[in-house]
Amino acid sequence: MIIESYKINLLDLIILAPLAWGAWRGWIQGFITQGFSLAVLLLGIIAVIRLSGFASTVIFPRIGVGSEVLSILFFTLLFAGIIFLAEFLAKIVALMVVNVPLDMITRGAGAGLGFIKYVFIVGVSIVVFELFIGKLVLNIHEIRDNSIIYKQIYNLMHFVFNFNIQPIY
């Protein structure tokens, strides 16, 4: 049977949890807040990619540090800061548009944008995990290869941001 070939494993459930949370937060906050938050997040991810690339090629060699681990750590810290900034600015926007009524269309669109926002957050986290921890954990490849969602999000991040990573097929 075709359906039996698609089995959701524990890793898929772990990935689905923040995606469901993002959709729920989008439903609560609405389209305007989630749209602004998603825009800030995407611009922030692009800025973090550019800044971490600049830091690893220009700044780190000048101060005598050339570790790949430090580069990934720098990217991770900047990414965490961008997530915090996106959420903070979204709260400010939510306070400004507090009188806008949230009808079903606005809530549904907000849920969709919240889901997409968390796809990007989880996706970049997966890429960082692959770069940093994936090399250390040997049996992660078996778990990863049996996952349905992991590979799709990883390949989406490769396609959207053109990370210097190999796609997983």
What is the secondary structure of 76-136 as a DSSP string? HHHHHHHHHHHHHHHHHHHHHTTTS---HHHHHHHHHHHHHHHHHHHHHHHHHHHHHTTTT
Q: What is the predicted pLDDT for the residue at 86? A: 83
3-state SS, residue 47: helix
117 vs 132, which has greater pLDDT? 117
Residue range 124-142, pLDDT digits in tens: 888 888 777 766 665 667 7
Mean pLDDT value of segment 133-158 = 76
Residue range 40-88, pLDDT digits in tens: 888 888 888 888 777 777 766 676 666 666 777 778 888 888 888 888 8
Q: What is the predicted pLDDT for the residue at 80? A: 87
What H or E segment, with its residue span, contains residue 74?
Answer: helix 68-96
The rounded mean pLDDT for the chain is 80
Residue 169 pLDDT > 50, yes or no? no
Question: Is the distance from CB of 168 to CB of 154 less than 8 angstroms?
Answer: yes
117 vs 140, which has greater pLDDT? 117
Question: Is the distance from CB of 144 to CB of 11 less than 8 angstroms?
Answer: yes
Decide: pTM greater than 0.85: no
